[in-house]
Amino acid sequence: MGIPMAIKLTKKHGMRWLLGSAILAGISLGGWGIYVWQIRHTSQTVVARVLQVKKDTVEEVVNENGTVKLGGQQTLKAPIEGIVKEVLVDAGDRVNRGNLLIVLADVDQQSQLEKQELEIAKHQITLENQRQKGREAQQKLENAQAKLQTLQAGNSEYHRELREKQLEIAQQKRKIDNQVQTVREAKADLANAERKRQNAQTLLDKEFISEDSYFDTEKNVRDARARLRSQEITLEEEKINLQKQRLNVEDIQQTIQEKLREAREQVASAKTNLQQAQVELETSLLKQEELMLKRQELLSEQQKRRIRAPFAGVVLDVKTLAEDVVSQEDELVILGNPQQEVVELQLPIFTASQVEPNQQARINKIGPQMETFSGKIEHIALLADSDNNNSESSGKIPVTIQLDKPTGELIPGSQVSVEIVVQQRQDVVAVPTEAVMAMGSEKPFVWLQDEQNQLQQQPIEIGMEGLTKVEVKEGLQIGDRIVLPTPDMNLEPGMLVAAKPKPKPSESEQE
């Protein structure tokens, strides 16, 4: 063989070696790729929390911090300026409505009240005398009116005497009538006697009778004339008596008229006296009212200095001490009703528009030992807080929540966390919020663990979104297992999943 042939053979052998090396490198790289792919997609196991899908309750809540207060909690303030004379309660004391809490001193006001009481007592005596005077005037008027009525009715003693005199006049008239008849009879007797005398004179002249017989007729005439004269005198006397009786009647009638005039004058005078007594009494009563009003004002001022409990409750704090000088509106005592506990909070206007009275709320005690208590929204203010001095609460809506029952644990004035349940859906398919990927997008999904324990992306349709849970309307069934990845996990479909063991409970939890 020559040199060229040797060179040619050498080149051919090198090419084969290079080709074999390239093939071997390719095979090595392919195997390494397959190995890496298997490590990442088959043989790598992800350890994560795995939950079984079940039905639960999803809530939309509003979270805010609030301040605990007792029901009817009220800060009693000084109504007027003064010096604290006595403090009769301490923080924690239970009081009933009307119990005296604090007394403010005012020596001058007490002196004025005593003087006013003395003035009222003096005027009371004057008032009683004027009442007695009015009663006497009333009695005099009634007596005068009764007397006038008696006179006007004809029942007075004068009227009785008048009737007696009028009866005597009637009797006297009858007596005169009888006497007139007697005089007529006497005249008739006289005429008859004169006729007989005349006849006797004729018979005497003819000497038919004796002179003695004539003288008898003469005597009869004289006797008849005498009787007539006597009866006429009696008649005149009776007429005189009748005239006297008539004069007496006139006198009595005049007396009655005088008595009527006097009675009317007495009635008018009694009315005037009564009216005057009534005016004086009314004036005294007005003065008495003024005195009593002044006394009431002094008592009211005194009561203002006696601070009393407006309701039964417990003393939460005493803001003053004896001998302190307080100004009007200074805080003195804080009271509350331990049978009612409320939480006051401020909600932003947008948030407040979502809540309404009687919505359920959870009150969480803040501290190392958290406790949760239930309550309801009792009141939502109609106006936003416009206190410019407090920038944090300005423009927010005050809301009051009343606990369902007093806890006896929440301290008035302490801060608590409040969850107001705005909406709630019960007995629905729900998953933790952190289980949902691409939340807020059009294609949210969860990592589903299939029967081969491999990860699969499962699209879902989201319903109500709560703070910690989300309602799944479609895409999951009861019993499905989903993975709760941590933020540092980079999951891909097909990965194996191993459930992270549950942490063992601590000794305190086991107890």
CA distance 211 to 127: 106
Q: How confident is the model at residue 510 (pLDDT cuts 50, 70, 90)?
A: very low
pLDDT for the residue 188: 94
E strands in 181-299: none
pLDDT for the residue 109: 66
Range from 70-74, 115-119, 194-198, 461-465 carrying the lowest mean pLDDT: 70-74
Q: Show the tokens assigned to 372.
A: 């949760």
Q: How confident is the model at residue 337 (pLDDT cuts 50, 70, 90)?
A: confident
pLDDT for the residue 235: 92
The percent helix, strand, coil of the chain (3-state, each to 5) is 45, 30, 25
Q: Quickly list DSSP for 435-471.
A: G-BSTTSSS-EEEEE-TTSBEEEEE-EEEEE-SSEEE
pLDDT for the residue 174: 94
pLDDT for the residue 236: 94
Q: How confident is the model at residue 14 (pLDDT cuts 50, 70, 90)?
A: very low
pLDDT > 70: percent of the chain: 87
pLDDT value at 321 more than 60 = yes
pLDDT for the residue 41: 45
pLDDT for the residue 180: 94
pLDDT for the residue 239: 93
Range from 9-18, 143-152, 236-245, 412-421 carrying the lowest mean pLDDT: 9-18
| Segment 333-348 mean pLDDT | 87
List pLDDT tens digits, range 89-116. 998 898 999 998 888 876 566 677 788 8
Q: How confident is the model at residue 503 (pLDDT cuts 50, 70, 90)?
A: low
Q: If phi over 0 gives left and psi between -120 and 50 gives alpha, with beta otherwise, what is residue 115?
A: alpha
Q: Quickly list DSSP for 202-228.
A: HHHHTTSS-HHHHHHHHHHHHHHHHHH
pTM score above 0.85:
no
> CA separation (Å) from 314 to 232, 310, 318, 335?
119, 11, 11, 6
pLDDT value at 128 more than 50 = yes
CA distance 169 to 238: 11
Contact criterion met (CB below 8 Å) for 431 and 469: yes
Q: How confident is the model at residue 249 (pLDDT cuts 50, 70, 90)?
A: very high
Q: Mean pLDDT over all residues of the chain?
A: 83
